[in-house]
């Protein structure tokens, strides 16, 4: 009789169906759990091994037990309780051992070996259970079926776990190729893999049981008065089946809960990766992804896409005056405004400290103008925070795809160029990209390269402008950097100094100017002071006290003959560090001058806290003094402040005799400007007799 015949003629069909459902359902849950075993490590793997082992044992043992209860030998039956429990323990222990081996990774064949152990555990459980099966009759075995059942179970078990491991490896490989985190990797053909593993596990269990039952034959030896109770056996079978489904269901629920938590975690991580943590807006990575999508869509639909670069105008001032917490709050308020204004086809992201970008898909220019208007309203509407109100303002640069660029990189570059033009223009908030902006950018890049060559070839020079007392006596000279370009002629410091700061050249230039000025000044007779300007970049990134000490030691210049000038904005970025740096410079004996006073923050606290020896009144007030009562009032106030604090005031930009007379009448201490002397090379000053040169003493004598 073949296997199908054994099933049909020796079993209760309904209980066979229940056994098949247990086998199928338990195998399906086991297949999903065992894949999780191969996908995890450490304690997580141990937990999934436990759940997979319990579920597999339930599927194996309950399938066997329910099918046995459905087996109809035609004689009374009973079960040996000890051997029945032993068969359950074999199913549990065998499953634990099998999954531990399969997940050990000690060899590439470990999953197949573990699967073979599953097949052996099924076989040992089944035939132990058959020993617990008591019938009134003579039992005989067909060894061919018996051996075939064991071989089939071992083969299908090995194939099942090997397939499960390979499915997980394919999934991991695909994720690795894409550079993805394991938890976020997609399941490659996940459904097909689970289905195939389930089928193989079902075959491992079912072929063992039903082929083994075909090997089992009973010749009845009925004893009068002893009968089985079919109803009780069926009730027991259904009870076992119910518990099997409950346990397998618990395993499935654990899997699904973990899957849900993992999916939520992945989504949370994805949100974190694509969102700005401070404002909640999309970040640079999200912007890049969205820009790719929008460019592709605009190309497919023959539409237009506007990229808007946004840079806040007063953000540094807010941070300096109110602290970084206030700056963060301004960014959060603006982010909420942006979120509320965006509509379909619009997008705003934060891509840097105070930099934002916006995208707008449109077909009519009116729609773009409306979008830009809404952005301006959000940026220029006053922001209230605690007890103060501020208008951040911003510069907006717009580039259009495909009109201004045919690729993503060029579009971003052109929007940046337009935004920088907007920042430079005092009367324009929004600038659209124009081709000539590329020419300007190329010119700046060329000039930066020329500046780098000028440093290497020694084309920079230092000129000196006299500083005098009201009496006309010379107090010192300010060292001013000059660049005579070989083709373009004189380049204004207002042009090349910012260029040097942008391109990282200012540190070497600043150190050279300081060393050059001190080297020349040590030869002057009379021994006038020399004043050297400090760049904010130089102040922030160089160890100035060490540099000044080194230069003084190398040149032999007396420390009291050196004066360093810096603006108030230079020290606001980090007041504690700035105070420490200035105190260390003062300890060397070097003087400090506060430059451009009146144009920045002009904080009285700055004069009280920082050890300045001189205040330099900005020339903008001097030029307006004759026509503006307010400018005159400010000049008087600064001069009075200097006298009350015991700090001398030097007025810059004296160009007319009237300006000189006004400052002298108001009690100004020192002056500087074209009226008193233009910046000139040292040789010219020597030729005019203002300065005489002497052989410098040795640096050791000078230092002494």
pLDDT digits (tens, 9 = 90+) for 540-558: 776 889 999 999 999 999 9
Task: Say whether pLDDT at 173 is over 50.
Answer: no
Structural contact between residues 291 and 298, judged by C-beta atoms closer than 8 angstroms:
no
Contacts of 498 (CB under 8 A, 6+ apart): none
Task: Say whether pLDDT at 178 is over 50.
Answer: no
Do 259 and 298 sit in the same domain of this protein? no
> Mean pLDDT, the chain, as a whole number?
80
Do 263 and 288 sit in the same domain of this protein? no
* 260 or 231, greater pLDDT: 260
Can you tell me the distance from the alpha carbon of 659 to that of 470, in angstroms, rounded to the nearest whole number? 12
Can you tell me the distance from the alpha carbon of 532 to that of 171, in angstroms, rounded to the nearest whole number? 65
Do 516 and 415 sit in the same domain of this protein? no
Do 320 and 253 sit in the same domain of this protein? no
| Domain count within the chain | 3
Beta bridge partners of 483: 460, 491
Q: For residue 689, is it left (φ>0), alpha (ψ between -120 and 50) or beta?
A: left
- Token pair 């005092």 is found at 426
Can you tell me the distance from the alpha carbon of 453 to that of 254, in angstroms, rounded to the nearest whole number? 69
Do 463 and 405 sit in the same domain of this protein? no
- Helix ranges (H only) for 458-574 are 493-502, 506-521, 536-541, 544-555, 568-572
Return the pLDDT at 252. 59
| pLDDT, average across residues 459-471 | 92
Q: Which of 210, 244, 269 is the last residue of a domain?
A: 269
Its domain, for residue 680, covers 457-703
* 103 or 261, greater pLDDT: 103
Do 258 and 289 sit in the same domain of this protein? no
Do 514 and 374 sit in the same domain of this protein? no
pLDDT digits (tens, 9 = 90+) for 312-330: 987 877 776 677 788 888 9
Return the pLDDT at 589. 94
Do 323 and 470 sit in the same domain of this protein? no
Q: Which of 219, 242, 269 is the last residue of a domain?
A: 269
Element (H, E) at 52: helix 42-69
With respect to residue 444, please indicate whether it lies within any of the assigned structural domains. Answer: no
Contacts of 638 (CB under 8 A, 6+ apart): 597, 598, 615, 617, 621, 649
Return the pLDDT at 39. 77
With respect to residue 632, please indicate whether it lies within any of the assigned structural domains. Answer: yes
With respect to residue 277, please indicate whether it lies within any of the assigned structural domains. Answer: no
Q: How many CB atoms lie within 10 A of CB 323?
A: 11
Task: Say whether pLDDT at 520 is over 80.
Answer: yes
Do 48 and 176 sit in the same domain of this protein? yes
Structural contact between residues 397 and 417, judged by C-beta atoms closer than 8 angstroms:
yes
| pLDDT, average across residues 431-460 | 83
Do 355 and 262 sit in the same domain of this protein? no
Task: Say whether pLDDT at 264 is over 60.
Answer: no
Return the pLDDT at 563. 95
Cα–Cα separations (whole angstroms), residue 623 to 15, 44, 614: 106, 76, 21
Q: Which of 221, 239, 269 is the last residue of a domain?
A: 269
For the record, the structure tokens of 412 come out as 């971003």
Spell out where 174-229 has E strands: 216-220
Supply angle C-alpha 397, 402, 407, rounded to 5: 85
For the record, the structure tokens of 321 come out as 């005056």
Of the spans 154-158, 221-225, 423-427, 680-684, which averages the highest pLDDT? 680-684
With respect to residue 450, please indicate whether it lies within any of the assigned structural domains. Answer: no
Helix (H, G, I), strand (E, B) or coil at 638: helix
pLDDT digits (tens, 9 = 90+) for 69-127: 766 666 666 777 788 788 878 888 888 888 888 888 788 888 888 888 988 988 888 88
Element (H, E) at 220: strand 216-220
For the record, the structure tokens of 660 come out as 């000189």
* 257 or 355, greater pLDDT: 355
Among 247, 13, 235, 214, CA closest to 126: 214
Structural contact between residues 315 and 354, judged by C-beta atoms closer than 8 angstroms:
yes
Residue 223 phi/psi, 5-degree rounding, is -105, 130
Cα–Cα separations (whole angstroms), residue 228 to 13, 35, 388, 633, 657: 18, 43, 92, 118, 130
Structural contact between residues 103 and 267, judged by C-beta atoms closer than 8 angstroms:
no
| pLDDT, average across residues 275-300 | 90
Can you tell me the distance from the alpha carbon of 511 to that of 551, in angstroms, rounded to the nearest whole number? 9
Return the pLDDT at 7. 47
Supply angle C-alpha 679, 681, 687, rounded to 5: 110
Percent over 70 (pLDDT), the chain: 80
Return the pLDDT at 599. 63
Task: Say whether pLDDT at 481 is over 90.
Answer: yes
Can you tell me the distance from the alpha carbon of 588 to that of 338, in angstroms, rounded to the nearest whole number? 52
Confidence of residue 184 (pLDDT cuts 50, 70, 90): very low
Task: Say whether pLDDT at 340 is over 60.
Answer: yes
Beta bridge partners of 389: 384
pLDDT digits (tens, 9 = 90+) for 552-584: 999 999 999 999 998 877 776 567 788 888 899
With respect to residue 440, please indicate whether it lies within any of the assigned structural domains. Answer: no
Give the lowest-confidence range in 14-28, 383-397, 453-467, 631-645: 14-28
* 381 or 54, greater pLDDT: 381
With respect to residue 449, please indicate whether it lies within any of the assigned structural domains. Answer: no
Among 31, 33, 26, CA closest to 257: 33
Task: Say whether pLDDT at 428 is over 70.
Answer: yes
CATH number at residue 415: 3.30.70.270
Do 498 and 625 sit in the same domain of this protein? yes
With respect to residue 369, please indicate whether it lies within any of the assigned structural domains. Answer: yes
CATH number at residue 644: 3.20.20.450
pLDDT digits (tens, 9 = 90+) for 388-419: 778 888 999 999 999 988 899 999 989 988 88
Confidence of residue 177 (pLDDT cuts 50, 70, 90): very low
With respect to residue 439, please indicate whether it lies within any of the assigned structural domains. Answer: no
Residue 170: is it exposed, middle or buried by C-beta count within 10 angstroms (0-12/13-18/19+)?
middle
For the chain, the distance separating the N- and C-terminal CA atoms, rounded to the nearest angstrom, is: 118
Task: Say whether pLDDT at 631 is over 60.
Answer: yes
Do 391 and 288 sit in the same domain of this protein? yes
């Amino acid at each position: 009789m073949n296997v199908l015949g054994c099933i049909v003629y020796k079993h209760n069909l309904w209980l066979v169906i229940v056994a098949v459902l247990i086998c199928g359902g338990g195998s399906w849950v086991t297949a999903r759990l065992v894949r999780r075993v191969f996908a995890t490590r450490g304690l997580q793997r141990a937990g999934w091994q436990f759940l997979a082992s319990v579920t597999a044992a339930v599927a194996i043992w309950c399938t066997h037990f329910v099918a046995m209860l459905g087996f109809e030998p035609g004689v009374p039956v009973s079960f040996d309780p000890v051997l029945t429990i032993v068969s359950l323990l074999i199913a549990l222990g065998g499953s634990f051992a099998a999954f531990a081996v399969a997940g050990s990774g000690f060899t590439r064949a470990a999953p197949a070996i573990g699967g073979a152990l599953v097949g052996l555990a099924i076989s040992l459980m089944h035939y132990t259970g058959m020993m617990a099966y008591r019938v009134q009759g003579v039992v005989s075995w067909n060894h061919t079926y018996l051996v075939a059942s064991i071989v089939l179970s071992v083969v299908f078990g090995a194939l099942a776990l090997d397939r499960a491991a390979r499915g997980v490896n394919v999934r991991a490989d695909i994720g690795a190729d894409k550079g993805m985190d394991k938890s976020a990797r997609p399941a490659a053909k996940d459904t097909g893999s689970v289905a195939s593993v389930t089928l193989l596990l079902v075959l491992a269990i079912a072929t063992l049981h039903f082929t083994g039952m075909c090997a089992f034959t009973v010749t009845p030896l009925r004893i009068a008065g002893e009968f089985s109770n079919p109803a009780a056996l069926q009730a027991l079978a259904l009870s076992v089946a119910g518990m099997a489904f409950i346990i397998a269901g618990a395993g499935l629920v654990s899997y699904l809960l973990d899957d849900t938590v993992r999916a939520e975690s992945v989504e949370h991580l994805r949100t974190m990766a694509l969102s700005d943590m401070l404002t909640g807006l999309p970040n640079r990575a999200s912007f890049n992804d969205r820009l790719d999508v929008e460019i592709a869509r605009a190309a497919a639909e023959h539409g237009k896409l506007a990229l808007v670069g946004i840079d806040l105008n007063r953000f540094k001032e807010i941070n300096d005056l109110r602290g970084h917490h206030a700056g963060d709050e301004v960014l959060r308020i603006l982010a909420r405004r942006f979120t509320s204004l965006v509509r379909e086809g619009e997008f705003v992201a934060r891509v840097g400290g105070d930099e934002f970008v916006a995208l707008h898909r449109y077909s009519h220019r009116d729609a773009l103008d409306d979008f830009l208007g809404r952005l301006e309203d959000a940026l220029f509407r006053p922001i209230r925070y605690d007890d103060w109100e501020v208008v951040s303002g911003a510069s907006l640069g717009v580039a259009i795809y495909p009109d201004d660029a045919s690729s993503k990189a060029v579009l971003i570059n052109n929007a940046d160029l337009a935004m920088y033009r907007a920042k430079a223009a005092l009367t324009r908030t929004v600038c659209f990209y124009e081709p000539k902006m590329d020419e300007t950018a190329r010119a700046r890049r060329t000039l930066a390269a020329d500046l780098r060559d000028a440093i290497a070839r020694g084309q920079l020079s230092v000129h000196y402008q006299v500083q005098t007392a009201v009496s006309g006596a010379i107090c010192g000279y300010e060292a001013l950097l000059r660049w005579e370009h070989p083709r373009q002629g004189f380049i204004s410091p207002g042009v090349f100094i910012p260029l040097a700061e942008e391109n990282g050249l200012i540190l070497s230039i600043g150190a050279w100017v300081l060393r050059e000025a001190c080297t020349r000044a040590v030869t002057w007779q009379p021994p006038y002071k020399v004043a050297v300007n400090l760049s904010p970049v130089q102040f922030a990134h160089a160890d100035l006290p060490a540099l000044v000490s080194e230069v003084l030691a190398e040149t032999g210049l007396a420390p009291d003959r050196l004066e360093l000038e810096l603006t108030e904005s230079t020290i606001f970025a980090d007041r504690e560090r700035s105070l420490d740096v200035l105190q260390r410079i003062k300890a060397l004996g070097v003087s400090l001058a506060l430059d451009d006073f009146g144009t920045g923050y002009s904080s009285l606290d700055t004069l009280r806290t920082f050890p300045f020896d001189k205040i330099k009144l900005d020339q903008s007030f001097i030029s307006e003094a004759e026509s503006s009562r307010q400018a005159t009032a400010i000049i008087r106030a600064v001069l009075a402040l200097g006298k009350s604090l015991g700090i001398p005031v030097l007025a810059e930009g004296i160009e007319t005799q009237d300006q000189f007379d006004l400052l002298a009448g108001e009690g100004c201490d020192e002056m500087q400007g074209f009226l008193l002397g233009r910046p000139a090379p040292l040789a010219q000053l020597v030729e005019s007799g203002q300065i005489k040169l002497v052989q410098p003493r040795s640096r050791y004598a000078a230092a002494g």
